[in-house]
A and B are shown apart, each in its own frame.
Chain A
Amino acid sequence: MATIVRDIETERTQARRRRRRGRIGLYTAAITAAVMGAFPFIWASLTAFKQNKDLYVKSNNPFLFNLAPTLDHFKFLFNDTNFLTFVRNTMVVGLAVVAITLLISLPAAYSLARLARKWGERLGIGIFLVYLIPPTLLFIPMQRVIVFLDLQESLWSLILVYPTITIPISVWLLMGFFKGIPRDIEEQAQVDGYSRIGAVMRTVMPLMFPGVVAVIVFAFTLSSHEFIYALAFNKASAFKTIAVGVPTELVRGDVFFWQSLMGAAIVVAVPIAVVFNLFLDRFVTGFTMGAVKG
């Protein structure tokens, strides 16, 4: 009897120990992953607040503030560089691209999800394959097209061209969301006397809100990440976006303004990451639903 109790006790302790070991393993792995992912960001954040006399001394411990932290480099970034112009350009281009993307992708996605039968699937795959003809293949002729349209050195060039990157992926995403909404809803509204478009606007569109938000976030991020077209089309700093402006302009000759440069990178990276984290689950479901046969 006593031995059985003791056996159960040892079993329990062993199980507890095993579970604890699993937990410790999990946390170690998670923290290692976080540090590996965030290392350049940690280093960049420390750098942005360091004084020159602290940063540019080889023997100083780079992970400590050997002299008091300073905000001077942020002041320099905001007052004496074109950083705010880049931010404004990125916002203008991003918002315009989002608007064009939604205007074009919503009808197309609806058409592919609901109206198209045989050709729909093929066209859907075709649109997705556009993703496989990347800017790297197209930037040379595209630059000539932009020069021909006389749009070089302006934000219009980017506003016109970025939807080619955002539309395919957005159509795919939205198609999934449309397929997730039961047909009956709009059919019911049509029975109630609305036209097809009227029915869709009144019943389906409100339910599409999460999909639309996902596309807004996605299209905006893609256009703020883009590098090749932005580098090829616009050389004047007045028309540069963050992605191209920060790495090319915060340098004088061979001298990098490292602290301001790192400050700029952090100021941009953190808000985007916050928004992405809020919507991550939605993207995962969005892409999953894209494949559900409707």
Chain B
Amino acid sequence: MATEVITTRRRRYLLDNERVLGSVLMTPAVIYIVALVGFPFVLAIIYALSDVTTGSRGFNFVGFDNFVRILDDPVFLRSLRNTFVFAAISNILVVVLAKALAMILVADFKGKWVIRFFVLLPWTTPISLATIMWLWTLDSLFSPIDWVLRWLGLIESNSYFLGKPGLAMASVIIVHTWRIVPLAAVIMMAGLAAIPHEINDAAQVDGAGFWRKLFEITIPLMAPIIAVAVLFGVILTITDMSVVWVLTRGGPTNSTQVLATWSFLKGIEGGALSQGAAIALFLLPVLVGLTVVILRLARRVEVF
């Protein structure tokens, strides 16, 4: 009798407060995000539809003029194409390499922590610093890669990795891949660990070899987690500006320009805020598409 009274009283006390307390605790986060993500986001759209620049005070709505104008600009079209080419190629490479790396990292062997330390370095180092190391590694005169190629007699003079459009694009892709593989591998490790041992053991007993197990058990079971890793990888590559900025500044002659760097050059360095905002907004449809995919996946995947 007495205990019943206490429990009902406590229940009511909780119910009375839960809503209030819940929203009180939530409010600061919501205000912060609305004020500093929501508001600038709306501003980005308004800018893109106007003629605002850093210099002038004038502000007129010009509709889709900015979009029409940038679509006529060959550098913009080049940036748009590069953004997707870089993201696509580097993420295909990421999937293959990260899968291999994840399998190495879940295995047990002596000295694993040393290996882990080295393979995670590309991801833990601030990207602009990692890229500056690549800038020096790909130096036109003193690149150690060139030295090795010369020493092997494969080339006569240096390759000028960042001076030729094709090689510069390849360099950007390699740096992106190099940087994202560790993150993707860590995400996939979580997926690998979730595959029950029994399945692999049963397959082993039935005489399945390494490759058969890989293609018929591990990869199908890991498909959703691989998709999650790819989504993170794609977001990181298409929204990143530091790799291209530090490595090539978009050069030679805009051949490695991407949306992020072109938008920065136009909007911040050039002062054409409206055009800069319009260029950046071209990322939005892609991000919305990815969002839908992520939401679908989130329902299916445990690890997220």
Contacts and interface: CB of A to CB of B under 8 A. Distances in A.
B260 A228 contact: yes
A170 to B, nearest CB: 10
A207 interface: no
27 contacts: A29-B100, A30-B104, A34-B118, A38-B119, A44-B133, A62-B144, A107-B26, A111-B25, A115-B18, A125-B295, A129-B291, A136-B263, A137-B287, A139-B280, A141-B44, A142-B36, A143-B268, A145-B43, A167-B32, A225-B126, A225-B127, A227-B242, A228-B241, A231-B245, A247-B246, A269-B130, A288-B302
A185 B260 CA distance: 48
B109 interface: yes
B36 A108 contact: no
Q: Give the interface SS of chain A, mostly helix, strand, loop or mixed.
A: helix
Contacts of B129: 242-243, 246-247, 264-265, 268-269
B33 interface: yes
A89 interface: no
Interface residues of B, number: 94
B25 to A, nearest CB: 4
B160 interface: no
A255 interface: no
Interface string A8-42: 00000000000000010011011101111111110
B113 interface: yes
Interface stretch (A53-61, A67-75, A208-216): A53-61
B75 interface: no
Interface in B132-149: 132-134, 136-137, 141-142, 144, 147
Interface residues of A, number: 99
B85 to A, nearest CB: 17
Interface of A: 23, 26-27, 29-31, 33-41, 43-44, 47, 55-56, 58, 61-63, 103-105, 107-108, 110-112, 115-116, 120, 123, 125, 127, 129-145, 160-161, 163-164, 167-168, 171, 190-191, 196-197, 221, 224-225, 227-228, 231-232, 242-244, 246-247, 256, 258, 261-262, 264-265, 268-269, 272-274, 276-277, 280, 283-284, 287-288, 290-292
